[in-house]
Amino acid sequence: MKELVVKGGTVVDATGSRRADVLIRNGAVAGVGEGLDGKHVLDASGCIVAPGLVDLHAHLRQPGREEAETVETAARAAALGGYTAVVAMPNTDPPIDSAAVVREVLDLGTGAACDVRVAGAITVGRRGDQLAPMAEMAAMGVRLFTDDGSGVQDARLMRRALEYASALGVTLAQHCEDEALAAGGHMHEGEWSSRLGIPGIPAAAEEVMVARDIALARLTGAPVHFLHLSTAGAVELVRLAKAAGVPVTAEAAPHHFTLTHAEVASYDPVFKVSPPLRTEADVAAVKAGLADGTLDAVATDHAPHPQEDKEEPFDQAPPGMLGLETALPLALTELDLPVERVVALLSWQPARIAALDGEHGGPVVEGRPANLCVFDPAEAWVVEPERLASRSRNTPYAGRKLTGRVRHTILRGEPVVVDGEAQR
Amino acid sequence: MKHLLSVEDLGADGIEEVMRLTDSFVEVSGRAIPKVPTLRGRTVVSLFYEESTRTRLSFETAAKRLSADTMNFSIATSSVKKGESLRDTVQTIDAMGVDAIIVRHASAGVPWQVASWVDASVINAGDGWHEHPTQALLDCYTIRERVSSLAGLRIAIVGDVKHSRVARSDVLAFTALGADVTLVAPPTLLPPSLAGWPVEVSHDVDDVLPKADVVYLLRMQRERQTEALLPSLREYTARFGLTRERARLLADDALVMHPGPMNRGVEIAAEVADLPRSVITRQVANGVAVRMAVLFLLLGAGRR
């Protein structure tokens, strides 16, 4: 579409908010102001017009687990959730630990409903014993590296990885979980695990690795990004580290500020996730961390699994939940933050961490790439798993009423979602 | 009531009802031909994903004494070996038109999942570390045989509470009937949180035994040594085992209980297990009548 105008909305970006129409021409913003007209019109009345959302943390499952999700279906789900870019986690099969697999996933993302970027593995095979060819992957545009799914257990290896990465201008991201402390656990260790007889994972399993990596970031001067923080102790450690000037950033997933370990009482593995759902105090701490800037981003940890895997006994089912289509409304509904702050946490702040801010999350001004998310912050809807675009159905929010819904998503000037319907 | 998944499904009133029904089935079990036609035409399947001798046999005996048809699902010769999922397995069994499925599984919560997929009644015969409600019921019944009421009774549960489904169900049942329960174990063998558990905790068995009306010993598994939960079984026995010397601390009329199978010489000395105050074989005997009561409650008189 060569010319398009988004009419009647309120533009919200890092510079503030104002009532304005947005004129888009040849994939870029061509004008922002009142009373603009264009060949095609998208109605944005009552809506927020924001930079496209950026997900730092999505499991697209391709290559290897195409029955759970593909790049194409995940990108469609992302676009419906307001995202114009997602970062694909490397725990695929084979893992994204070489230029060849990076290329494969980037190629799969060509023409998808949102931009697909890739996080590379820190270690070969995500096995935690040998550095993956980070420079080779960085040369292909990879800016985040992580062994997500597990953390790098060996402190010396993590130190070397940080030192090596510091010359490449990339960021290492950690799934903080000490495997010795977490071993055998399937939910948060506490009141509910004790009652339900399910082996627990203590909050300390996360916190010892956060503390260790803060020390390593200080030692090496290299930045560390903490994935999906879930405990009050971890949030506090990051708060102190930031105050001390240590180069760390952190994200939280929507389920960690909306659900608690009490959900596991149903024994439904749809509530199994890594890190696990924690206590009400942890939920409050994650919310407080998002409110005061300790946590920089909301990231989905979108983790599709086929139904048969989520019908295993709780302690045998794989961890993970869908997230792309529900993250924005959950953040709008549950965080008690002004809409500008919510969009910051989902758009430009994660865009900076992923080094995608040249294209995504930038201010809505003339000349910038037209990657936009248009959502109605007041529209209520009910989550129906069978209506989600993901190939899997494992949302923990089935039947939940949410407020806030994406109306249009625009990727480089092309409407990929119109009136809540995917166009690709 | 359709299923018996947790002791909480019964509450104090439900437990009392099971006790009353058990009285009549104890009488049946004492007859020359211990069989009644109550569940004739009904089919009961035992689906045991974990090894068990006493619980499986006890349920089968109970079902047969009620004249139900019984089927025994053995994992070793089933499609589970061919990779059939839990859901497909139980729905296949359910499709045959069974009335009750008795489930034992090493994973906590499986009976809840099964109950959500089938039309039949589901009875939890032990799920992981979580619950074993019929064990708790037969424990309550066995205590009541000797002391008529659990209200105000002081019961010490000694041993590996953390990994024990028996302990979890017993705590729910004993406290529902008004007993004062003390858990006695090293901190490594207690659940990580006891928030909401109406119990006392002690790490000193010698302090607890003289005050106890009932001492309930849990099975100590050998692998606990290798998980850094205990220095050794020897040290466990020295500090927590009901040795002959320690048994002398008990009041004359205090009862000794154990869910079996026992590790004689570890959590309980052989001589103590065989003392008259030990009601361990009564527990086994009462198990059949209690399970008859449970099957009757779920499948009998007017159900379906």
Give the distance, in angstroms, between the CA of residue B158 and the centroid of all CA atoms in the same chain.
15
Contacts of B201 in chain A (CB under 8 A): none
φ, ψ at A236 (rounded to 5°): -65, -40
Whether residue B303 has pLDDT greater than 60: no
- B197-215: pLDDT as tens digits: 999 999 999 999 999 999 9
B23: distance to nearest CA of chain A, Å? 31
User: Is A36 buried (19+), middle (13-18) or exposed (0-12) by CB count in 10 A?
Assistant: middle
Fold match between A3-48+367-422 and A52-353?
A: no
Please check whether residue A115 is in contact with residue A359, taking contact to mean a CB–CB distance below 8 angstroms. Answer: yes
Task: Judge: B110–A313 Cβ closer than 8 Å, yes or no.
Answer: yes
Contacts of A276 in chain B (CB under 8 A): none
* Residue of chain A whose Cα is closest to the Cα of B129: A197
Task: Judge: A194–B193 Cβ closer than 8 Å, yes or no.
Answer: yes
User: Is the previous residue joined to B111 through a cis bond, with omega within 30 degrees of 0?
Assistant: no
Contacts of A195 in chain B (CB under 8 A): 168, 191, 196-197
Q: What does the H/E/C string look like for B30-82?
A: CCCCCCCCCCCCCEEEEEECCCCCHHHHHHHHHHHHCCCEEEEEEHHHCHHHH
Task: Judge: A198–B109 Cβ closer than 8 Å, yes or no.
Answer: yes
Nearest to A68 by CA among A397, A383, A319, A416: A319
**DSSP states of A72-136 as a string?**
HHHHHHHHHTTEEEEEEPS-SSS-S-SHHHHHHHHHHHTT-SSEEEEEEPSBGGG-SSSB--HHH
- B226-275: pLDDT as tens digits: 788 999 999 999 999 999 999 999 999 999 999 999 999 999 999 999 99
| Distance of alpha carbon B71 from alpha carbon A42, whole angstroms | 65
Nearest to A47 by CA among A372, A323, A414, A412: A372
pLDDT-derived band at B53 (thresholds 50, 70, 90) equals confident
* β-pair type (A16-19, A10-13): antiparallel
| Distance of alpha carbon A177 from alpha carbon A173, whole angstroms | 12
* Residue of chain A whose Cα is closest to the Cα of B126: A197
Domain at A52-353: CATH code:
3.20.20.140
Identify the DSSP state of A14: T
pLDDT-derived band at B302 (thresholds 50, 70, 90) equals very low
* Residue of chain B whose Cα is closest to the Cα of A198: B108
Contacts of B85 in chain A (CB under 8 A): 308, 311-312
**Active site positions of A, annotated:** 301
ipTM of the complex: 0.95
Please check whether residue A166 is in contact with residue A222, taking contact to mean a CB–CB distance below 8 angstroms. Answer: yes
- B276-293: pLDDT as tens digits: 899 999 999 999 999 999
SS3 content of chain A, % helix, strand, coil (to 5): 30, 25, 45
First to last CA, chain B: 11
A45 — contact with chain B (CB < 8 Å)? no
Computed on alpha carbons and rounded to an integer, the radius of gyration of chain A in Å comes to 20
pLDDT-derived band at B74 (thresholds 50, 70, 90) equals confident
Identify the DSSP state of A3: E
Task: Judge: B194–A266 Cβ closer than 8 Å, yes or no.
Answer: no
> What is the crossing angle of helices A71-80 and A99-109, to 10°?
50
Please check whether residue B139 is in contact with residue B22, taking contact to mean a CB–CB distance below 8 angstroms. Answer: no
Please check whether residue B46 is in contact with residue B70, taking contact to mean a CB–CB distance below 8 angstroms. Answer: yes
Please check whether residue B189 is in contact with residue B162, taking contact to mean a CB–CB distance below 8 angstroms. Answer: yes
Whether residue B106 has pLDDT greater than 80: yes
Provide the pLDDT for residue B75: 77
pLDDT-derived band at B304 (thresholds 50, 70, 90) equals very low
Residue ranges of domains in chain B: 7-131+284-299, 133-283
Provide the pLDDT for residue B228: 87
| Distance of alpha carbon A213 from alpha carbon A209, whole angstroms | 6
Please check whether residue A100 is in contact with residue A134, taking contact to mean a CB–CB distance below 8 angstroms. Answer: no
* Fold of the domain built from segment(s) A3-48+367-422: Urease, subunit C; domain 1 (2.30.40)
Provide the pLDDT for residue B225: 79
Q: What b/e sequence results for A67-76 when a residue is b if at least 16 CB atoms lie within 10 Å of its CB, and e otherwise?
A: ebbbbbbbbb
B180 — contact with chain A (CB < 8 Å)? no
Q: What b/e sequence results for A202-237 when a residue is b if at least 16 CB atoms lie within 10 Å of its CB, and e otherwise?
A: bbbbbbbbbbbbbebbbebebbbbbbbbbbbbbbbb
Neighbours of B57 (CB within 10 A): 14
Whether residue B76 has pLDDT greater than 70: no
* Residue of chain A whose Cα is closest to the Cα of B128: A197
Q: What are the start-end ranges of the E strands in chain B?
A: 43-48, 69-74, 100-105, 121-127, 154-158, 180-184, 199-202, 214-217, 255-257
Q: Is the dihedral of CA A151, A156, A161, A163 positive or negative?
A: positive
Structure tokens at B170: 């017993």
Q: Which of residues 359-378 of A touch B (CB under 8 A)?
A: none
- A364-420: pLDDT as tens digits: 999 999 999 999 999 999 999 999 999 999 999 999 999 999 999 999 999 999 999
Please check whether residue B275 is in contact with residue B252, taking contact to mean a CB–CB distance below 8 angstroms. Answer: no
Mean of pLDDT values over B80-94: 88
Task: Give the list of residues 6+ apart from residue B30 with CB closer than 8 angstroms, or none.
Answer: none
| Distance of alpha carbon A116 from alpha carbon A77, whole angstroms | 12
Fold match between B7-131+284-299 and B133-283?
A: yes
Structure tokens at A110: 């060509």
B85 — contact with chain A (CB < 8 Å)? yes
Whether residue B168 has pLDDT greater than 50: yes
Q: Residue A35 pairs with which residues in a beta bridge? A: none
Q: Could you say which residues of chain A have pLDDT below 70?
A: none
Residue ranges of domains in chain A: 3-48+367-422, 52-353
User: Is A403 buried (19+), middle (13-18) or exposed (0-12) by CB count in 10 A?
Assistant: middle
Specify the 3-state DSSP secondary structure of B280. helix
Q: Residue A145 pairs with which residues in a beta bridge? A: A120, A172
Q: What b/e sequence results for B231-255 when a residue is b if at least 16 CB atoms lie within 10 Å of its CB, and e otherwise?
A: eebeebbeebbbeeebbebbeeebb
Task: Judge: A197–B128 Cβ closer than 8 Å, yes or no.
Answer: yes
Nearest to A331 by CA among A248, A403, A416, A410: A403
pLDDT-derived band at B77 (thresholds 50, 70, 90) equals low
Structure tokens at A119: 């996080």
Please check whether residue B69 is in contact with residue B43, taking contact to mean a CB–CB distance below 8 angstroms. Answer: yes
Task: Judge: A312–B85 Cβ closer than 8 Å, yes or no.
Answer: yes
Please check whether residue A253 is in contact with residue A298, taking contact to mean a CB–CB distance below 8 angstroms. Answer: yes
Identity of the residue in A191, A202, A315 whose CB atom sits nearest the CB atom of B108: A315
Domain at B133-283: CATH code:
3.40.50.1370
| Distance of alpha carbon A163 from alpha carbon A220, whole angstroms | 6
Nearest to A251 by CA among A21, A6, A56, A3: A56
| Distance of alpha carbon B158 from alpha carbon A220, whole angstroms | 51
Find the angle CA(A78)-CA(A272)-CA(A401) to the nearest 5 degrees.
Answer: 55
Identity of the residue in B85, B105, B194 whose CB atom sits nearest the CB atom of A194: B194
Identity of the residue in A190, A268, A312 whose CB atom sits nearest the CB atom of B86: A312
Sequence-separated contacts (24+) of B9-15 with Cβ below 8 Å: B9/B133, B10/B133, B10/B137, B10/B176, B11/B176, B12/B176, B12/B177, B15/B137, B15/B140, B15/B173, B15/B176, B15/B177
Structure tokens at A339: 């809409």
Structure tokens at A198: 């399910």
The CATH architecture one would assign to domain B7-131+284-299 is 3-Layer(aba) Sandwich (3.40)
Contacts of B112 in chain A (CB under 8 A): 266-267
Specify the 3-state DSSP secondary structure of A369. strand
